Each structure stands twice: as structure tokens, then as C-alpha cells.
Amino acid sequence: MTITIGLKDQRFQVAEGEELTFGRSQRTTLCLDPSDLGISRVAGSLEADAGVWWLVNKSTVRPLEVVDDVGIRTVLPPGRRLAVTAPITVIVEGAMRRHALTVDLPDRTADGLARGPIPALEAEEGNPTRAASDVSITSADKLALVALFAGYLEPFPRYDPHPKSYADAAARLDWPRTTLVKRVEYLRTRLTNAGVPNLLGENALQHLAEWALATGLISRADLALLPPR
């Protein structure tokens, strides 16, 4: 099983049994910047173990940022590893600049692995889980979310996993700020009533962004809905 690692316009193939390392040291497979002391000598590696590819944080002090294929960010602490089960972007934060490595997996169906529906349970217990499928999301609702969470959808180096301010998002759409606030707050209330958790309180917008990304309500293709800058 082979994976492909990208750095700027370069592509590297790594087969099972091989290891790709990256960091500040010129002894790594991918030397990001030998003069940037904000990058660990060996920041991380990609290696296979029992047929599973792993991203390993080799640093003792610096975390890695991992962005999945829908735009959700995870922090990988020093000394920890993360199974790579879908395409990811690994962001290495230096003192002078950030570096991004893309990791692409092969189409696993081409390897002959079976794909099919997950079998249903023979019996269901208790009441069904509440879902947000009954909440109607209008095109204006979606446009508001795309403007507010555009940073999650932008490619590196514009990727920014934080909601925009209401003022900035409204200005991008040429809407009054109050119009955007009311639309998003009303949507949050409807989703909360439908069972979506954590949409009230201090980090409500971040949770709303992660829910919208994880459910596929908004995607990188939706950036085309926004007016040009």
C-alpha cells in the first residue's frame, strides 16, 4: 500500500515498509527549513504498521496540526500518533512560516477490499436518537454559514480554523450585520431544538462550524457561492 505526500509542487511516493520523515534537519526526507528554529529537527514521520498508515509526532516539544478532508483541525501532541484513514493536511508551524504537507491515500476499493452497507442491528433499544435532519436549511442559511466559516474551507495558506466575525462575514455578503446575526442565531436555535449539542454558550460558533463541516452541509466547493473579494 502506497501513499502520496505533497509539499508545494513536489510529490513523494512512500510504500509500506518505508518511512518518510520531515523537519528542520537536513537528514530528514523532507527538510522544511534548516534555518527555522521553530521547527523541530525531526518534526514527524509517516509510516505503516500492520497495514495502517500513521502520522507520528516525533518532536518532544512542538505539536502538529492536522486538517482532515472536510476542514476540521486536530492538534497532535508531541510523542503521539494518529491513524491516517482519509486524506489530510499536516501543518508544521515554524518561527518564520508555516509548512503544509498533504497526505493522500490510494483508493482502497482498488485493493480488493470489500465495500458494502453496514448491516442493521437485529433490534433497536430505546428511543431513536434525535437528529437535525428535519431542520430546513435554506440557501440563505447556507450562504451565511459559508461566509462565517470560510476560513475552514480555504486551502493552505489561507486556511484558518476560526469563525469570521459577524461584521466581516456580513461585509463579504454585503448584508447588514444584524441580518446575518439573526439568521445564524435562529438557525442555532432550531438545530439545538432538533438535538444538535453544544450550539449555545461561549464556543457555540466553533461547534456550529464543526457540525456543518462534519455533516457535509458546507464544503470547500461552496466557496464559489461567495461574492468575489
Q: Quick: pLDDT tens for 34-83.
A: 999 999 999 999 999 888 999 999 999 999 999 998 899 999 999 999 99
Average pLDDT of the chain to the nearest whole number: 87
- How high is the pLDDT of residue 107? 65
User: What does the DSSP assignment read for the chain?
Assistant: -EEEEEETTEEEEEETT-EEEEESSTTSSEE--TT-TTS-TT-EEEEEETTEEEEEE--SS--EEEEETTS-EEEE-TT-EEE--S-EEEEEE-SS-EEEEEEE---GGGGT----PPPPPSS--SSPPP-STTS---HHHHHHHHHHTHHHHSPTTT---SPPPHHHHHHHHT--HHHHHHHHHHHHHHHHHTT--S-SSTTHHHHHHHHHHHTTSS-GGGGGGSPP-
pTM: 0.74
The tens digit of pLDDT for each residue in 128-150 reads: 434 456 788 999 999 999 999 99
